[in-house]
């Protein structure tokens, strides 16, 4: 009777045997941008935004690099919003787009009150 259940036992042990999950040991996807563009910079130059972000075209880019770039741009205190997106440019090239919205500056001021003391 036990010989009859031996194949079933071996099969059930093989099915229940532990195996590594699919995510273990896998690295997150890495993007290598062909170029980087900046949108929304008016007071600052594109070169300043790129230098502050630390992102370089042709260098592998991970989510940690993107996080560091966003934090570095916010740390300047010049931007209300920073977004980094990846798109496909013409010819299938990878394009990283940095969108910034600059904080408003004081445009006009006026003093109201006494204009002349007598």
- pLDDT per residue, tens digit, the chain (118 aa), is 556 767 666 666 666 666 666 555 666 667 888 999 999 999 999 999 999 999 999 899 988 999 999 999 999 999 999 999 998 888 888 899 999 999 988 778 887 877 776 6
Write down the residue that tokens 């989510």 correspond to. 63
| C-alpha 74: how far from chain center | 13
Q: Provide the pLDDT for residue 110.
A: 81
Q: Provide the pLDDT for residue 24.
A: 57
Q: Provide the pLDDT for residue 55.
A: 92
Residue 31, Cβ density class (10 Å: 0-12 exposed, 13-18 middle, ≥19 buried): middle
What b-and-e string marks burial along 13-28, b requiring 16 or more CB atoms within 10 Å of the CB?
A: eeeeeeeeeeeeeeee
Q: Provide the pLDDT for residue 81.
A: 94
Q: Provide the pLDDT for residue 52.
A: 94
CA atoms within 13 A of residue 106's CA, in its CB half-sphere: 3
- Sequence-distant (6+) residues with CB within 8 A of 51 are none
CATH fold, domain 35-102, is Ubiquitin-like (UB roll) (3.10.20)
| Domains in the chain: boundaries | 35-102
């Amino acid at each position: 009777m036990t010989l009859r259940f031996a194949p079933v036992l071996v099969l059930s042990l093989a099915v229940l045997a532990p195996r590594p999950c699919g995510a273990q040991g896998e690295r997150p996807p890495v993007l290598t941008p062909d170029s980087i563009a900046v949108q929304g910079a008016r007071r600052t130059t594109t070169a300043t935004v790129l230098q502050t972000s630390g992102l370089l075209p042709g260098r592998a880019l991970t989510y940690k690099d993107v996080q560091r770039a966003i934090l570095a741009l916010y740390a300047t205190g010049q931007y209300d919003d920073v977004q980094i997106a990846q798109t496909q440019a013409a010819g299938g090239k990878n394009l990283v787009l940095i969108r910034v919205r600059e904080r408003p500056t004081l445009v006009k001021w006026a003093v109201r009150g006494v204009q002349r003391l007598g």
